[in-house]
Chains A and B, each alone.
Chain A
Amino acid sequence: MVQYLLNGFGHLIQTGSILALFIGVFLGIIIGALPGLTATMGIALLIPFTYGMDPSYALSLMVGIFAGGIYGGSISAILLKTPGTPAAGATVLDGYPLAQKGQAGKAVAVSTIASALGGLIGALILTFLAPQIAKIAVLFGPPEYVLLGIYGLSMISYVAGKSMAKGIFMGLLGILISTIGIDPISGFPRFTFGQLNLLNGLSLLPVLIGLFAAAQAFEGIEKYNEPQAQQAKINRIGISGKEFLRILPHIIKSAFIGTFVGAVPGTGTDIAAFLSYGEAKRSSKNGAEFGTGVIEGVAAPESGNNACVNGAMIPMFTLGIPGEAATAVMLGGLMLLGLQPGPLLFKDNPQVIYTVFASTITSNLLILVLGLLGARFFAKVLQLPTKLITTMIFVLAIIGSYAMRNNAFDVGVTIIAGFLGYILTKADYPVPPLLLGLILGPLVESNLGRTVIISEGNYFIFFTRPLCWLFWVLILYTVISNITKSKRASRQLDQTKR
């Protein structure tokens, strides 16, 4: 396997994918740093232009944008008190107070080092764990995939936001939409209303671009007359050796938390960051000072969220199940590149997959270099007028959805999905579950069809296979823990209201 990984590094340099990775990280940091632009949006906007590229090149770009974007969010969290991405929400808590004390440079340095180290640990776990999981996943048959898909869908309650019912509604709506087009087993066209454009279903990419890019831009229009936030000044960038030793244990612990959270389907970088922050606050000697500007409070969430980036790729590559929203979008990109995610990817395309692993490891080095040397430049980028950025997102969204198939229908889908996504999000109907349903729906249905064929119509097969039982336990655990969790949350809400 080390041999494969070394080949991956060789391939990364040979094909020039390392350049793509550099561009990806660079763009990712900018996208992440700009409030309102997320890594997910960056990848969604990028995918149409990767069409026809060499897969390792395209994937290196995506990995770069994802990792860079999650790191970049911390820059605006520290300097503007606005997280550039939801993943940097926890970084604001101590990052901004540090900046107010005139230590913005130190905060940026801590965030950069923590992101790079946390990401590196996550990338190493990904590299060495994913092939092992793939080996187990080869044993999965159609019934296991049905349950795996249902397990992924049961995580909707985690990403659902305020109302679980609304999250489940959106997830089911996504599955229902995914049944438009040719039925995977019998080949009969369903719900197409004679529209040729719908024969292969509502294409994923225009919907994605609409939901994750155009919807955000509508938000930008709504807030066009809000003044741009004042920026804290960056002084000397760097930390002392003593400070590094202080944050190191938190970085390592958060990296493991983040990777684990990422590997669980459905949970995302923001949850990883807040969990890491909470754990650091609980276990730290100066826990009471958290929130007033301590460096541990920046290091922990930043290590956690960048580790989560890599953790989220574990289920994506090995099982074809997205770990969170950005990987769900990446999954769409993988399929467009003609790569079917899943255990067979490791057998059929080891070169591509190990090049990606080499990319994830290298991306952290690039974050370190770009972050420490380029922080002042990225701070300048934050002063770009948001009105111009909003306009550019619209233009990129439109030409992106057009470029895929030179098709005006797709452009219409993007615009309408964007507007609906914007309205629904405002009313607490979360959009990520819809995406989860769109991606997992076909997986569940086609494997259900295969299960019925191999079992000759006997549904009892779901209870006779030992691996199936593993998933039943996982699903049951998820559902029960979510119900109790939401009950506790609503009780707390009632108490705060009184």
Chain B
Amino acid sequence: MVVSFKVKWLDLFLGILSIVLLVVVFVLSASFPEPHEAQLGAAVFPRIIALVLAVVGVYILVRAMGKKSNAAVDINNAQKVLLTFFILLLYGLFLKKVGFVILTPVFIAALLFLMRFSNVVTNLLTSILTTAGIYLIFKVLLSVPLPEGILGF
């Protein structure tokens, strides 16, 4: 499945976002403490940047709406890209609780199936072997902390 969206809609979105950010920065910075004499204060710099950002954002917005720009971005295999994003989120979310050793083979296998890497046996074997490899290199050799989770190692 190919999903394509017009670049100008993204331009429009980011232009509006820059205005929203401007408002947010000014509202939130209103409660920042007053600076002492001859001090910059916490609010000045973010306000300047937000202001310039909004100017550039509005420029991009106006430019995108003005011309009949039909430039589009195509995302091939969009459902797989999105699915990967959600699988990643789940992996990242539960990694600490469940643990690296259990969750990583599942994650690798999921992506390999998603990309139609090979047959079932090869996919599963690959996912287990690569997990073991990473565990050996990082945990055993380099003593990098990997999430232990429920197994405790």
Interface residues of chain A, those whose CB is within 8 Å of chain B, are 48-49, 165-166, 168-169, 172-173, 175-176, 179, 183, 185-186, 188, 190-191, 214, 218, 221-225, 385, 387-388, 390-392, 394-396, 398-399, 402-403, 406, 408, 411-412, 414-415, 418-419, 422-423, 426-429, 441, 444-445, 448-449, 452-453, 456-457
Across the interface, do B7 and A186 meet the contact criterion of CB distance under 8 Å?
Answer: no
- What would be 14 A-B contacts, judged by CB atoms less than 8 Å apart? A169-B57, A221-B111, A224-B115, A388-B126, A391-B108, A392-B130, A403-B146, A406-B147, A408-B93, A412-B93, A415-B89, A415-B92, A418-B88, A444-B45
Looking at the assembled complex, report how far the CB atom of A126 sits from the nearest CB atom of chain B, in whole angstroms: 29
A172 lies within 8 A of B80 (CB): no
Question: B144 near A385 (CB under 8 angstroms)?
Answer: no
Question: At the interface, yes or no: B73 with Cβ under 8 Å from chain A?
Answer: yes
Give Cα distance in the complex from A222 to B95, angstroms.
25
The residues of B that contact A166 with a CB separation of less than 8 Å are: 60
CB pair A185 B40 closer than 8 Å: yes
Q: State the Cβ distance, B72 to closest chain A Cβ, in Å.
A: 9
CB distance from B63 to the nearest CB of A (A): 7
Residue of chain B at shortest CB distance from A455: B38
B130 to chain A: closest residue by CB: A392
Q: Give, as a whole number of angstroms, the nearest-CB distance from B148 to chain A.
A: 10
Report if B16 contacts A (CB, 8 A).
Answer: no
Complex Cα spacing A341 to B51, Å: 30
Q: Which residues from B are CB-within-8-Å of A452?
A: 38-40
Judge whether B77 is part of the interface by a CB distance below 8 angstroms.
yes
Q: Contacts A49-B144, A168-B56, A394-B111: A188 and B42 contacting too (C-beta < 8 A)?
A: yes
Q: CB-nearest residue of chain A relative to B36?
A: A186
Is A388 a contact partner of B117 (Cβ separation < 8 A)?
yes
Contact A169 B117 (CB under 8 A): no
Q: Are A185 and B81 in contact (CB under 8 A)?
A: no
Question: What is the chain B residue whose CB lies nearest that of A214?
Answer: B88
**In residues 52-97 of chain B, which contact A (Cβ within 8 Å)?**
52-53, 56-57, 59-60, 63, 73, 75-78, 80-81, 84-85, 88-89, 91-93, 95-96
Q: Residue-by-residue, is B90-118 near A (CB-CB < 8 Å gives 1, otherwise 0)?
A: 01110110001000100110011011110
A191 pairs with B81, CB closer than 8 A: no
B84 close to A399 (CB less than 8 A): no
Instruction: Decide if B39 touches A449 in the complex (CB within 8 Å).
Output: yes
Interface residue tally on B, bucketed by range: 35 or more
Chain B residues near A214: list those with CB within 8 A. Answer: 88
B interface residues with partner A (beta carbon < 8 Å): 7, 10, 14, 18, 21, 24-25, 28-29, 32-33, 35, 37-42, 45-46, 49-50, 52-53, 56-57, 59-60, 63, 73, 75-78, 80-81, 84-85, 88-89, 91-93, 95-96, 100, 104, 107-108, 111-112, 114-117, 126, 130, 134, 138, 142, 144-147
Q: Are A186 and B33 in contact (CB under 8 A)?
A: yes
**Residues on the B chain within 8 Å of A172, using CB:** 49, 52-53, 56
On whether the beta carbons of A426 and B145 are closer than 8 Å, the reply is no
Contact B46 A190 (CB under 8 A): yes
Alpha-carbon gap, A49 to B138, bound state (A)? 8
* Given the contacts A176-B53, A222-B77, A387 and B112 also touching, CB distance less than 8 Å: yes
Chain A residues near B89 (CB-CB < 8 A): 412, 415
Closest approach, in angstroms, between the C-beta of B101 and any C-beta of chain A?
12
A408:B7 contact, CB within 8 angstroms: no
Neighbouring B residues of A48 by C-beta, 8 Å: 144
Q: Which residues of A contact B147 (CB under 8 A)?
A: 402, 406
Contact of A221 among B45, B115, B134 (CB under 8 A): B115
Closest to B14 in A: A169
Q: A224-B115, A392-B130 are in contact. Are A179 and B145 (CB under 8 A)?
A: no
- Residue of A with least CB distance to B85: A419
- How far apart are the CA atoms of A254 and B31 in the complex, in Å? 55
Q: Which residue of A lies closest to B74 (CB)?
A: A426
In the assembled complex, the CB of A192 is this many whole angstroms from the nearest CB of chain B, namely 10
Contact A179 B146 (CB under 8 A): no
Q: Do A408 and B95 have beta carbons less than 8 Å apart?
A: yes
Residues of B within 8 A of A449 (CB): 39-40
10 further A-B contacts with Cβ under 8 Å, apart from A176-B25, A403-B144, A419-B85, are A169-B18, A176-B21, A185-B40, A188-B42, A191-B46, A222-B78, A385-B117, A394-B111, A408-B95, A415-B85
Q: Residue on A with the closest CB to B117? A: A387
Nearest chain A residue, comparing its CB with the CB of B50: A176
User: What residues of B have a CB within 8 angstroms of the CB of A423 in the complex?
Assistant: 10, 73
Q: For the complex, give the distance between the alpha carbons of A330 and B118 in Å.
A: 37
| A387 and B145 alpha carbons, distance in the complex (Å) | 26
CA distance A188 to B84 in the complex (A): 39
Q: Is the CB of A391 within 8 A of B39?
A: no
Chain A residues with CB under 8 Å of B50's CB are 176
Which chain B residues border A218 with CB–CB below 8 Å? 81, 84-85
Chain B neighbourhood of A388, CB < 8 A: 112, 117, 126, 130
Q: How far is the CB of B56 from chain A (nearest CB, A)?
A: 5
Assembled-state Cα–Cα distance A179/B25 (Å): 10
Whether A391 contacts B111 by the Cβ 8 Å rule is: yes
User: Contacts of A411 on B, CB cut-off 8 Å?
Assistant: 92, 95
Contact check, A415 vs B59: say whether CB atoms are below 8 A apart: no
- A-B pairs with lowest CB-CB distance, top 4: A183-B42, A411-B92, A457-B38, A172-B53
Contact of B91 among A185, A398, A418, A427 (CB under 8 A): A398
Q: How far is the CB of A375 from chain B (nearest CB, A)?
A: 25
Task: For the complex, give the distance between the alpha carbons of A150 and B128 in Å.
Answer: 50
Once the chains are docked, how many angstroms separate the CA of A434 from the CA of B114?
31
Taking CB atoms, residues of chain B closer than 8 Å to A385 are 117
CB closest chain-A residue, reference B133: A392
Q: Which A residues are CB-close (under 8 A) to B138?
A: 49, 399, 403
A394 touches B59 (CB 8 A): no
Chain A residues with CB under 8 Å of B33's CB are 186, 188
Residues of chain A within 8 A (CB-CB) of B130 are: 388, 391-392, 395
B32 / chain A contacts, CB cutoff of 8 Å: 188, 190
**With A and B bound together, what is the CA distance between A387 and B24 in angstroms?**
42
